[in-house]
Structure 1
Amino acid sequence: MAAVMGDPGLSKLQFAPFSSALDVGFWHELTQKKLNEYRLDEAPKDIKGYYYNGDSAGLPARLTLEFSAFDMNAPTPAHCCPAVGTLYNTNTLEAFKAADKKLLLEQAANEIWESIRSGAALDNPVLLNKFLLLTFAITVGVYDPCNLAQYPGWPLRNFLVLAAHRWSSSFQSVEVLCFRDRTLQGMRDVTHSIIFEVKLPEMAFSPDCPKAVGWEKNQKGGMGPRMVNLSECMDPKRLAESSVDLNLKLMCWRLVPTLDLDKVVSVKCLLLGAGTLGCNVARTLMGWGVRHITFVDNAKISYSNPVRQPLYEFEDCLVGGKPKALAAADRLQKIFPGVNARGFNMSIPMPGHPVNFSSVTLEQARRDVERLEQLVEGHDVVFLLMDTRESRWLPAVIAASKRKLVINAALGFDTFVVMRHGLKKPKQQGAGDLCPSHPVAPADLLGPSLFANIPGYKLGCYFCNDVVAPGDSTRDRTLDQQCTVSRPGLAMIAGALAVELMVSVLQHPEGGYAIASSSDDRMNEPPTSLGLVPHQIRGFLSRFDNVLPVSLAFDKCTACSSKVLDQYEREGFNFLVKVFNSSHSFLEDLTGLTLLHQETQAAEIWDMSDDETV
């Protein structure tokens, strides 16, 4: 700092200090000089650096030392000014700390002052920029893989042999830095590194190879071979496990990083029906990595089945045919042994199909109902894939009562419907609670143009659009009329869409309570990484077209209305027997459909008489 005296309006002149910038190459060269040339010599050494006039604004002036610092004749880089200096390198950290820094600085200052007094600085202005560098450079570093706090890892051993062989005559010990680069909670961390001093043995340039150690001990801690069992790695089942989900992982890695595969792989699916729809649904579930699949069916494989139902072969039809549910589960495990597939050869009791009070039929119906209730309880998603409308009624009621997600698929000739049933509110919620958090206008205030933003618990089920109760749909039908006749590709399309709908629901943060997407939402931002989460998909193969309608739950529904569910939960099997043994009027009377029919007929009569008077 200097003062400009005289004019009181002038301020003191200040100078910006330099910032040292020692390149990695400098330290490498210093290491080589120290180990091979300087050794224990602590005499000062002439070195050379430079400063650059042209750094970005705001940066301090840099005094740079590179690998060429020890060559006093090395050229100075372009656009840089040379600076000469003196290096004082100590042999120990203690000597570095004990060095008289004040004395060294005064000595350097006196040298500059002498060049000014003698005029030498006029001939060589570089002398005015002389600098002093004090270092301690004899720590060796090793990239250490060891996790033990007090011991280094094996890479250090042979390096110390090298140090003892080459430098033990010059150094009695070296300081070692074991550098440990870890990642903790996503952040790089080097605090586990350790530093210590090692005394080197006397073996300078010895021609004899040191004693070798290093045979790895076995599991018992002795010197012997370690046994590695590769049977699991080579097991075809294990190889299949690691390969079967590759496509799903590639989806996550490349296309849909937010896809939650765990929700899909861990889901337990109950397939009611092992026919054309059931077989195609099962194959698509396996493609999505689903590991728990259970079939329920009471039919046997016939000769017409294998060409349309991909889990069966011609041999399965022989000797009367194998039970579909058992054969389907067995085939899934042959396709992929990692799947947990089960089959139950059982009937599902149905409305309009009476059970006998005086024979074993009643007890069989009771056992079938109990087994079906247990299966629905033990699974996360129930697929309704049966041939008849009435066969879907009992599982729809049980699943609604147990708050299970239901995916329903039904076929026509060239049309299909795939839908998710509305998921009822949890029982612990009050009647006025909304689940989970979406306010919805009352059903009687909603017109067709307002069917939007309807959460899952307000959605209808398969029976909500009907105004008649399910009954025996096969009565008075010929055999060909009892069989579902569809275009061959329809079941594959509907089965695949049923599984894709389930996956989309699982990817939504609110699951079965997700707001239903409609056809109007196709241009909007999708609610999940996989796209829309519709209520229904109605397909028309003749037009190759799909629509996504949304319908509200019907308070007089014969399957999911509160009157039916309350009666089922109070009376259980006794209530179901009434439904099985009665005509469809029982459910219609219970839910209020009978009264609705009467009111409708009266309104029609009144309208006709009114027209006649006009």
Structure 2
Amino acid sequence: MAAVMGDPGLSKLQFAPFSSALDVGFWHELTQKKLNEYRLDEAPKDIKGYYYNGDSAGLPARLTLEFSAFDMNAPTPARCCPAVGTLCNTNTLEAFKAADKKLLLEQAANEIWDSIRSGAALDHPVLLNKFLLLTFADLKKYHFYYWFCSPALCLPESIPLIRGPVDLDQRFSPQQIQALERAYDDLCQTEGVPALPYFLIKYDENMVLVSLLKHYSDFFQGQRTKKPGEIRHGLPAREALPEICRVTGSEGPGASRKITIGVYDPCNLAQYPGWPLRNFLVLAAHRWSSSFQSVEVLCFRDRTLQGVRDVTHSIIFEVKLPEMAFSPDCPKAVGWEKNQKGGMGPRMVNLSECMDPKRLAESSVDLNLKLMCWRLVPTLDLDKVVSVKCLLLGAGTLGCNVARTLMGWGVRHITFVDNAKISYSNPVRQPLYEFEDCLAGGKPKALAAADRLQKIFPGVNARGFNMSIPMPGHPVNFSSVTLEQARRDVERLEQLVEGHDVVFLLMDTRESRWLPAVIAASKRKLVINAALGFDTFVVMRHGLKKPKQQGAGDLCPSHPVAPADLLGPSLFANIPGYKLGCYFCNDVVAPGDSTRDRTLDQQCTVSRPGLAMIAGALAVELMVSVLQHPEGGYAIASSSDDRMNEPPTSLGLVPHQIRGFLSRFDNVLPVSLAFDKCTACSSKVLDQYEREGFNFLVKVFNSSHSFLEDLTGLTLLHQETQAAEIWDMSDDETV
């Protein structure tokens, strides 16, 4: 409980200070405001709290701030008084410690003093109850440092008590108390507020009147008629009031005169009023001391016990009102709250211990991302990244590194597809696996990878599918079981591609990328492809086909057979995303079985250890850059020539391809057009797939590469090329 200022044996009026009561919801809302709105802004912010005078005995006079404190239009709870305040939230703990507390207090006190001198406090009494809150939110640890201040102006001399505090039921009869309750309730209802912090009282043996402060002049002129803003309730005619409760009008110079004021008091101590009375007495001394020598104070305390309203614990007393000629300067002020040890210092709240660790981890991940936005990339749209659903085809070296980088970007939805099991050679290069995962034949990679992601960050929605991807040149017609299994795998893959936004092709073989490339092109999904050599890699985005209903027709233009990227990026400037080639567009042969009759080093991806990490990271960064572009996958491709130009997004360029050479530590950004005879994304392949579905795919799986080459026109192209070469040779021989 807050320490009571003064000794009860003294005849000077003492006050019980406010004790700050900051709800957990307040800190949660401050966290959200800091992350999403305030960021690095340290400018003062308006907030509001409230206090209540119905607490049980022994509880301190609390000023409460909860989640609604940041909404100045939020309703105040029933039977509570509002208090307006200023939040000063610092960016660092050092700034919090170095804040000029004296200056902050003086500024707040000046605002209160100005409202008293101007009369604004009479119209809006809530201005007398301003408060300060100095905070620092350590959102990495969820430690909140704060120092609360309720500024109170000090009179030049102590306030002497003429008559000490007594409970209201010792002065008022039950009928008088009921009349007071009704008059106060009616005034609150008339003003449309849950409680009035200050009010005027006038009563005699026949009536009880309450009024607003702004009606002071008319209220205390001795008129017996009801004035605007007054609420009157009558008493029984023969009910006599104690002499001290009578209102004595102005009876000539030197007469003893007093007024009665009501204060909605948050304190429940029998001998002391609460903190809100302090500034009100300064107002009374400044504005009314020339007219009245004393003030009778009724500290109105309203609580409900077992469903029965009780105000009898309210206290009433009389103080001498000093006659003061205040200078324009603001009086001295006090009000900084003591800490838990009773010393002058801030307090700290540690919410990490009472928070769900999963929720804490999620908030911390969000913080790392939003720190980028505050100062480095203010235009970064994190929602586009965090909400994207990524399908990773391949859970090997590339898949593991891509997944970790995706989580670093806050991606919450990651799905793995792989049919392999973890072997002893995997954990050293594939960071989602450990030695124990290799035992007993090894765990399925896709399932183990998804499980490990959720252990790393429980907030991620990770799934794994242990399944094969049918491939060209790998027949599926040996038995009905094999054929039906292939049908199920194709259907599942189609469903997965449909349910995700971005498809990553991260497999070991070229032919395993064909089917997902066809499905993704047909469903207009963004494809990010990453492939490794020994010390080289390629990372690229596939061209994103326009929907057919737009009347685009065959979007793959005809152009020379030679791979476009070899002709140089300058020849292909300003190529939009729907005209860009896919992984197979630069090939003039269809994919086939690339592992048959090959040695072990030819079957496995043998590369420098750092290559997959580089390529995996670049694949994710390319995806993020595409998502940040207003046109997404349809964005014009950036090339190496654009490196000195203004970047199209806040993150920089949006290339078509990134080809890296680790031996030279060099990257180039080629651009290639879609190939009209491409075996994966050309209109002939997509039309056939969309018409025949699985039946078309079975033909591709069960035939050699000649089927796709015949369909797309590559066979005829080879024949024409060969004939041209023979003709050239015959010409040379004749020369």
Q: Secondary structure of the residue that 1:63 maps to in structure 2?
A: strand
CA displacement, residues 143-170 of structure 1 (integer Å, 9 cap, x when unaligned):
9999999999996997379639983883
Does the 8 Å contact 2:417/2:465 carry over to 1? yes
**Which structure would you say has the larger RCO, counting Cα contacts within 8 Å and 6 or more residues apart?**
2
CA displacement, residues 108-163 of structure 1 (integer Å, 9 cap, x when unaligned):
99999999999999999999999999999999999999999999999699737963
Deviates more, 1:472-481 or 1:487-496: 472-481
* Change beyond 3 A, Cα 1:573–1:26: closer
Does the 8 Å contact 2:6/2:14 carry over to 1? no
Does the 8 Å contact 1:409/1:494 carry over to 2? yes
CA displacement, residues 489-542 of structure 1 (integer Å, 9 cap, x when unaligned):
000000000000000000101000000000000011110111000000000000
Does the 8 Å contact 1:408/1:418 carry over to 2? yes
Question: What is the deviation of 1:478?
Answer: 2.6
CA displacement, residues 85-106 of structure 1 (integer Å, 9 cap, x when unaligned):
9999999999999999999999
Question: What is the deviation of 1:436?
Answer: 16
Question: What is the deviation of 1:236?
Answer: 1.2
Does the 8 Å contact 2:57/2:268 carry over to 1? no
Question: What is the deviation of 1:469?
Answer: 0.3
Q: What aligned pairs does 1:415-430 form with structure 2 within 5 A after superposition?
A: 415-430=536-551
Cα distance in 1 for residues equivalent to 2:24 and 2:465 = 73
Q: Secondary structure of the residue that 2:548 maps to in structure 1?
A: coil
Question: What is the deviation of 1:250?
Answer: 1.2
Cα distance in 1 for residues equivalent to 2:580 and 2:482 = 36
Deviates more, 1:544-553 or 1:114-123: 114-123
Question: What is the deviation of 1:81?
Answer: 49
* Change beyond 3 A, Cα 1:596–1:106: closer
Cα distance in 2 for residues equivalent to 1:93 and 1:273 = 45
Question: What is the deviation of 1:481?
Answer: 2.2
Does the 8 Å contact 2:14/2:272 carry over to 1? no
CA displacement, residues 331-360 of structure 1 (integer Å, 9 cap, x when unaligned):
001011111110000000000000026321
* Change beyond 3 A, Cα 1:248–1:195: farther
Does the 8 Å contact 1:40/1:170 carry over to 2? no
Does the 8 Å contact 2:300/2:311 carry over to 1? yes
* Change beyond 3 A, Cα 1:290–1:219: farther
Cα distance in 2 for residues equivalent to 1:608 and 1:476 = 34
Cα distance in 2 for residues equivalent to 1:225 and 1:64 = 17
Pick aligned residue for 2:663 from 513, 532, 542: 542
Question: What is the deviation of 1:593?
Answer: 0.3
* Change beyond 3 A, Cα 1:195–1:606: farther
Does the 8 Å contact 2:61/2:266 carry over to 1? no
Q: Does 1:13 align with 2:134?
A: no
The match for 1:334 is 455
* Change beyond 3 A, Cα 1:90–1:267: closer
Does the 8 Å contact 1:555/1:562 carry over to 2? yes
Does the 8 Å contact 2:115/2:127 carry over to 1? yes
TM-score, normalised with respect to structure 1? 0.64
Cα distance in 2 for residues equivalent to 1:67 and 1:231 = 18
Question: What is the deviation of 1:426?
Answer: 1.4
Cα distance in 2 for residues equivalent to 1:220 and 1:321 = 58
CA displacement, residues 300-331 of structure 1 (integer Å, 9 cap, x when unaligned):
00000000000000000000000000000000
Larger Rg over CA atoms:
1
Question: What is the deviation of 1:296?
Answer: 0.3
Deviates more, 1:151-160 or 1:87-96: 87-96
Question: What is the deviation of 1:237?
Answer: 1.0
* Change beyond 3 A, Cα 1:170–1:513: same
Question: What is the deviation of 1:428?
Answer: 1.3
* Change beyond 3 A, Cα 1:211–1:525: closer
Question: What is the deviation of 1:23?
Answer: 41
* Change beyond 3 A, Cα 1:155–1:47: closer
Does the 8 Å contact 1:4/1:10 carry over to 2? no
Deviates more, 1:355-364 or 1:149-158: 149-158
* Change beyond 3 A, Cα 1:319–1:493: same
Question: What is the deviation of 1:369?
Answer: 0.4
* Change beyond 3 A, Cα 1:554–1:8: same
Question: What is the deviation of 1:431?
Answer: 2.8
Question: What is the deviation of 1:457?
Answer: 0.2
Question: What is the deviation of 1:246?
Answer: 2.4
Pick aligned residue for 1:237 from 358, 366, 369: 358
Pick aligned residue for 1:281 from 385, 402, 411: 402
* Change beyond 3 A, Cα 1:204–1:80: closer
Does the 8 Å contact 1:414/1:541 carry over to 2? yes
Q: Secondary structure of the residue that 1:233 maps to in structure 2?
A: coil
CA displacement, residues 56-88 of structure 1 (integer Å, 9 cap, x when unaligned):
999999999999999999999999999999999
Does the 8 Å contact 2:629/2:648 carry over to 1? yes
* Change beyond 3 A, Cα 1:58–1:537: farther
Deviates more, 1:131-140 or 1:392-401: 131-140
* Change beyond 3 A, Cα 1:357–1:521: same
Does the 8 Å contact 1:459/1:535 carry over to 2? yes
Does the 8 Å contact 1:167/1:204 carry over to 2? no
Does the 8 Å contact 2:555/2:579 carry over to 1? no
The match for 2:469 is 348
Cα distance in 2 for residues equivalent to 1:120 and 1:38 = 30
Q: Secondary structure of the residue that 2:334 maps to in structure 1?
A: coil
* Change beyond 3 A, Cα 1:566–1:213: same
* Change beyond 3 A, Cα 1:193–1:546: farther
Q: Secondary structure of the residue that 1:213 maps to in structure 2?
A: strand
Q: What aligned pairs does 1:28-427 form with structure 2 within 5 A after superposition?
A: 159=280, 163=284, 167=288, 170=291, 233-356=354-477, 358-427=479-548
Question: What is the deviation of 1:612?
Answer: 1.7
Does the 8 Å contact 1:268/1:293 carry over to 2? yes
Cα distance in 2 for residues equivalent to 1:511 and 1:268 = 15
Does the 8 Å contact 2:298/2:317 carry over to 1? yes
Does the 8 Å contact 1:4/1:13 carry over to 2? no
* Change beyond 3 A, Cα 1:269–1:213: same
* Number of residue equivalences: 614
* Change beyond 3 A, Cα 1:112–1:43: same
* Change beyond 3 A, Cα 1:24–1:613: closer
Q: What aligned pairs does 1:591-602 form with structure 2 within 5 A after superposition?
A: 591-602=712-723
Question: What is the deviation of 1:393?
Answer: 0.1
Question: What is the deviation of 1:439?
Answer: 20
Pick aligned residue for 1:490 from 611, 614, 617: 611
TM-score, normalised with respect to structure 2? 0.54
Cα distance in 2 for residues equivalent to 1:126 and 1:366 = 73
Question: What is the deviation of 1:249?
Answer: 1.2
Cα distance in 1 for residues equivalent to 2:369 and 2:43 = 68
Question: What is the deviation of 1:609?
Answer: 1.0
Does the 8 Å contact 1:4/1:11 carry over to 2? no
Question: What is the deviation of 1:543?
Answer: 0.5
Q: Secondary structure of the residue that 2:597 maps to in structure 1?
A: coil
* Change beyond 3 A, Cα 1:573–1:357: farther
* Change beyond 3 A, Cα 1:78–1:526: closer
Does the 8 Å contact 1:232/1:238 carry over to 2? no
Does the 8 Å contact 2:62/2:266 carry over to 1? no
Q: Secondary structure of the residue that 1:59 maps to in structure 2?
A: coil
Cα distance in 2 for residues equivalent to 1:520 and 1:40 = 36
* Change beyond 3 A, Cα 1:215–1:577: same
Question: What is the deviation of 1:281?
Answer: 0.4
Q: In structure 1, list runs of 5 or more residues that go unmatched.
A: none
Question: What is the deviation of 1:434?
Answer: 8.9
Question: What is the deviation of 1:394?
Answer: 0.2
Question: What is the deviation of 1:224?
Answer: 30
